[in-house]
Amino acid sequence: MSRYILKRLISAIPVLLLVSITAFIIMQLVPGDAAAIIAGQDATLDEIEFIRSQLGLDQPWPARLWDWISGLAHGDLGYSFILNRPVSDAIIERLPVTLSLAGLSIAFATVMGVSLGILAAVFHRSWIDATAMTVALCGVSVPNFWFGLVGILIFSVGLGWFPPGGFVSPAESLSGWFLSMVLPALTLGTATMGQISRFTRSVMLEQLGQDYVRTAQAKGLAGRQVIGKHALKNAMIPIITVIGITFSLTMAGAIVVESVFSLNGLGRLMLHGIMRRDYPVLQGGLVVIAFSFVFINLLVDILYSWLDPRVRYD
Amino acid sequence: MTGPLLEVSDLTITLGLGRRTVDIVDGVDFSIEAGDRLGVVGESGSGKSMIALALLGLLPRAMRLTRGTIRFDGVALDKLPPDRLRKIRGRDISMIFQEPATALNPVITTGEQVSEVLRRHEKLSHAEARNRTIELFRQVGIPAPERRIADYPHQMSGGMRQRVMIAMALACRPRLLIADEPTTALDATIQRQIIDLLTRLQEETGVAIMLISHDLPLVASFAQRIMVMYAGRHAETALADTLFQAPSHPYTQGLIACALGLEDGIERLPAIEGQVPTPAAFPAGCRFATRCPHVLDVCHRTVPPVQQLGSSHSVACLRLSELAKTSPIPQTELSA
Amino acid sequence: MTDLSTAAPQTRRIRLSLAGAHWPLLIGGVIFGLIVLAAALGPFLTPLGPEDTSLMDRFKGPSLAHPFGTDSFGRDVMTRVLYGGHVSLLIGLAVVVIAALLGVLIGAMAGYFPRLDNPIMRVMDAGEAFPTLLMAIALAAVLGPGVMNVVLALGVAYAPRTARIVRASVLVVAQQQFVEAARASGASSARIILTHLIPNALAPVIVQMTFIFADAVLAEAALSFIGIGPPPPAPTWGNIIADGRTYLYSAAWITMFPGLAIFLTVLSLNLLGDGLRDALDPRMKKVS
């Protein structure tokens, strides 16, 4: 088991390297003189030159790439001249907001999505199936930022149940944190919920047709055990993979949803980075999100081997 | 004992095919006494597995029980509400399936799959169920049962997996065990072992066993009585010895000729021409008419009734009186 | 016995799924057709221009004169939604074309030339480690605002998905005998790829293109909403919502109607994609 994890960890290294290089390449696409853009219109030539040398832009690209990669290896994501602080500091400060948002939204999407999918599969071709799949289809089709605005209009302005935006730290008030997160998490989670329920339905339908389900029925087990224990345990293996993949959807969606609900998370940091042409922040944010995606998928793989005894010692 | 353990009469299972329906099992009667060993023989498509599933109320969605009664120990199973039927399944009647590789859940340990039956029906605690499971594993001949209960199905061989299935089926000491092609997926030596195991367990526990197979010699080596089925209908039922000495249905005669040919290693098999028709193509009269060497015009139009040849011998063939003469059946028994 | 139990439900399922495959296709097709028609005929349906302001008519709620109401400049929201549809749908279409061309090219190369397979697919892996929307945001941010940049960014971002599908299909088809035969008779690789491999990958690619279209409409709207899409005052659905957001509490209609337009468009495309997949892919027919 631990050898398997070690093997997977090692195999992630080239992917991380490629991801870092991709982020680097994207940033090389900035047209014109990045140093001059960062320094702003009022900057003197000396200031521009200073920023240029600080960013290493006066060096050839292989040297810059090497600096970037070796910096990353030490946890150095570069320096923001606009925020006047290391990029990693700015990101770490914002991370709790984004992690709260992403975590809650994935939790919601998983619970709702898997339940709807199971219901749809168990009551195949009934009105329950049709209803669940309509909800799922609407979930994947609704633009989340608009859905969030509608949510604010109804539940914050209309009913006054939740605050219309802003982040409350869980250290400050746990209930306040939860209330502040309900609407954003639902908004961010709808699309993922739709994907997970559509996928769960098709996997469950497949599993319910398997021989072992008939065996479980022949044993006289109750329907709840046949579905919840026997079929779901098999279905969860591919479902976990899809949940891992939707994590990337969630992280990207967070940028938009944080903007709707005025949450100062990683997404809004990057958005401000874009507006102010703070390229180091953008590059750093990109790499953090991509790394977390690789990490989540690693976790999924390990979970996979734990759920599926057949791959455990391969 | 007032009556047979299981009494099935006029069992009819209907399959919906678009707007049409076909009776894939049509008016089958049979019964099993307590401690009996009944063999059910037929090619694939004969409806024998559907009968097994119907007994447990597990027919696929496209099929329905449209006629007939199933009485188990005096209780009409076909009229039982689902929750009461669930209490009987796995406890009083249990089943072994053909392919142990897919019939076992791949992500649950074999031990757990056996002990969950015990917990469900006998309300045993986890620890008690575990001990009983180890005992059952030992009983069905799985070596080192304390260790093997932690194995997943993929860690076992096909024969071992089928032993797990048998342990699971016998866990609650059922009175009837339905074994649907239990050895078909296994190689010859393992087949023998499994049949010997079933025979031994039957003698030890007194459970009635209904062994379903396409393999007539295999069934004959196990069962006291054999029912031959063809295309959803009863062809012939007799004691195993009678069936081999005096097969009276042309289909049974073909099957036996085929089996003897195999045994003697004769090159040219006197096999039955053609295949079982698909349900959509079932003929109107005798369903064997399309392949029968003794077919007459009337066979294509008339469904042959089941006729008694003796106390435990019944045949469904229009030409029974002529064809039975060719077999060495004593005239006295025929006229009885 | 086994052939009976499996064959029977199959005939039943195919019949039902054909009936089932037709209605999403039909409903999706009709809704999407109407939306395309409205967007194409927009200029003829409304006498007003999308940027015609009327200070007398600011913040008018929906009425006969302005079915979707007016915005902060007194512009007619329905006119803007119609013109916005024009822009949003064209962007979506362009994204699909670019993603398909890139994806088919890259996927066919990876699938046909075993030596290129691994390097190409590892690059695709890295590309996919960035969420599509994030990739598009980064590219659009770096390239600067503008319709062409948005199209390019989204097109590149969706290419790996298509490439993966084409590669899988090419890997299967390349093993088959008629390809062997073509190779043996001296056909060039380019010819084999163009005449044999790509046409065989077409069905899954068309399905995927429909879903990418849906995603691209959503992504473009999101980019516009956060201010890195096509710059205002050009009406795109995302821009109109971003404009209306400031007045969400007092003039919700500015936000509601373009949002509904996006929702309906994406919904119809998803229905269309589901229907096409069920109709074109015989393997999926059995599952759902």
Tell me the one-letter amino acid at A198.
Answer: R
CA distance C7 to chain B (A): 9
Q: What are the chain C neighbours of A274 within 8 Å (beta carbons)?
A: 137, 141, 228
Torsion sign, CA atoms C251, C254, C259, C265: positive
Cβ atoms of C221 and A143 within 8 Å: the answer is yes
pLDDT at B279 (0 to 100): 86
**B12, containing H or E segment:** strand B6-17
Taking chain C, what is the end-to-end CA distance rounded to the nearest angstrom? 25
Determine the distance in angstroms separating the CA of C46 from the nearest CA of chain A, rounded to an integer: 25
The pLDDT value recorded for residue A109 is 95
Over 50: is that where the pLDDT of B336 sits?
no
Say what the ipTM of the complex is. Answer: 0.86
* N-to-C CA span, chain B: 27
Residues of B in contact with C19 (CB under 8 A): none
Residues B28 and B234 sit within 8 Å (Cβ to Cβ): yes
Cα three-residue angle C165-C160-A279, rounded to 5 degrees? 170
Minimum Cα–Cα distance from A246: chain C residue: C131
Please tell me which residue of chain C has the smallest CA distance to A145: C222
B326 near C CB under 8 A: no
Give the per-residue pLDDT at B2.
63
Q: Which of A37-46, B5-14, C157-166 has the lowest mean pLDDT?
A: A37-46
Which residues, at least 6 apart from B6, have a Cβ–Cβ distance to it below 8 Å?
A: B31, B32, B55, B70, B71, B72, B73, B176, B208, B210
pTM score: 0.85
Question: Each residue of B109-168: pLDDT tens digit?
Answer: 999 999 999 999 999 999 999 999 999 999 999 999 999 999 999 999 999 999 999 999
In the block, tokens 């028709």 appear at B277
The residue type found at B224 is: Q
Residue of A54, A224, A195, A202 whose CA lies nearest to B116: A224
pLDDT value for B264: 58
As a whole number, mean pLDDT of residues A247-273 equals 88
| Residues of A in Cβ contact (< 8 Å) with C263 | 138, 141-143, 146
Q: Which residue has the tokens 């994501």?
A: A77
pLDDT at B334: 40
Looking at residue A76, its pLDDT comes to: 84
* pLDDT tens-digit readout, C187-212: 888 888 888 777 877 888 888 899 99
Compare B335 and C249 and report the one with higher pLDDT.
Answer: C249
| Residue found under tokens 């294509």 | B300
- Please tell me the distance in Å from B98's CA to the nearest CA on chain C: 10
pLDDT at residue A196 in the model: 95
Residues from chain A that touch C13, judged by Cβ atoms under 8 A, are none
- Write the DSSP assignment of A200-222 as a string of letters: HHHHHHHHHTSHHHHHHHHTT--
Q: Output phi, psi for C106, to 5 deg.
A: -65, -45
CB contact under 8 A, C133 and A149: no
pLDDT class for A249, splitting at 50, 70, 90? confident
Pick from A219, A225, A307: which is nearest to B107 by CB?
A: A307
> Partners of B22 in the beta sheet?
B15
The pLDDT-based confidence of B324 (bands split at 50, 70, 90) is: low
Reported as a single tens digit per residue, the pLDDT across A184-239 is 999 999 999 999 999 999 999 999 989 999 999 999 998 899 999 999 999 998 89
Which tokens sit at B214? 């396409």
